[in-house]
Amino acid sequence: MRPTIKNIALELQLAVSTVSRALNGSYGVHPRTVERVQQKARELGYVPDLGAQQLAGKRSNFIGVFAPEFDFEATPEFAELFPPMHKALRLLGKDVLVFSVPFFDYEPGKLEKWVALRNLSGIIVLPAFGKDHPMLQEALELEMPCVNFGGAYGRRCSTFTGGDRLGGQQVGAYLGELGHLRIGIVSGPEPLRICRDRYLGFLDGYEQSTGHSKQAVPMAYGDFSGASGGRAVLELWRNNPGLTAIFCMNDLMAMGAIAAMSEAGIRIPEELSVIGYDGAFFTAYTNPPLTTIRHPYERLGEQAVELLMNLIDGDEGVVFDGLPPQLIRRRTAAPCRNENTADKTTDAV
């Protein structure tokens, strides 16, 4: 059972009202008493009751935006989603606090402390946090107004769904239309929901386009960095003779794959088609310009704010599905021309 104000008051032999005023920064409490109360609160692990604060009319204007922190290079969707979110929140008179959260080393209980210490009235959790991530599980338990892109849904939690699977479907259908039969995939870290959804969508789209199901697709794993994309595509090329197309699950890995294959003497897209994912603005300026999938980030950001405001006003959580991504056709994917590409092996590969 978590400690309460009464526990702190009992430990310090103070009135509950005095402890409450000390914790809330109210006037009339001696600074030494405030220091004693705050120290004891830390020792006991006291966290304010969020529900009680809101019932008492102490809702703040602060909205927390939580972005994943990785130890490797990446193109976080934060850069695309945050500006329209921030603009929409600003127009509503809300202040935004941004939290960078270690994705693989999240400290249990941290979200509850952040929410309480900053008196957040709601939170938006950005990709790539999936519904099984401990931070989103904690958000569900807290019943804090929360919007996420990872599939976590509850009474006070709304989520977006379907976008990544739809994006994967578009890639599978397009490569099927181009006549590619031997396709490899460069995935991100295996446990991530977004990678699983994009892969399953790819299988669906390819089957719908060609009428043939793919039972097993050659796959190598990266960490979303360009360097890992280069290593993964070389692994696929060595182990799977005859590949004519590669689907990379983010743009940086696709760019790394193109660089590695070009250095090995493989022409893009004449001998190998490459498709990325994310639609980062700089992909229009690669050589050749990258074919990729782009989500409607501006509309997603605005919709996320609208869903959060509904939750703060007392609505229950919803599953929102309805903003399909777009396939941006550029010059790294072309009709399959040579099913014997694998005959061109080089010492560099």
Q: Where are the beta strands (DSSP E) in the chain?
A: 62-69, 95-102, 122-125, 146-148, 157-160, 183-187, 219-221, 245-248, 273-275, 292-294, 319-320, 326-328
pLDDT number for residue 27? 57
Where does the pLDDT of residue 55 fall: very low under 50, low under 70, confident under 90, or very high at 90 and above? very low
H or E element, residue 232? helix 226-239
Residue 144: closest CA among 312, 303, 24: 312
Instruction: Give the predicted TM-score (pTM) of the model.
Output: 0.76
Structural domain spans, the chain? 5-46, 62-160+297-323, 163-291+329-343
Does the fold of domain 62-160+297-323 match that of domain 5-46?
A: no
Q: What is the topology classification, in CATH, of domain 163-291+329-343?
A: Rossmann fold (3.40.50)
Q: Going by CATH, does the domain composed of 5-46 fall within 3.40.50.1970?
A: no
Residue with the bigger pLDDT between 80 and 29: it is 80
Residue 141 CB neighbours (<10 A): 11
Which architecture does CATH list for 62-160+297-323? 3-Layer(aba) Sandwich (3.40)
113-145 per-position pLDDT tens digit: 899 888 899 999 998 888 899 999 999 999 989
pLDDT tens digits along 221-236 = 999 999 999 999 999 9
pLDDT tens digits, 149-169 = 988 999 999 998 878 999 999
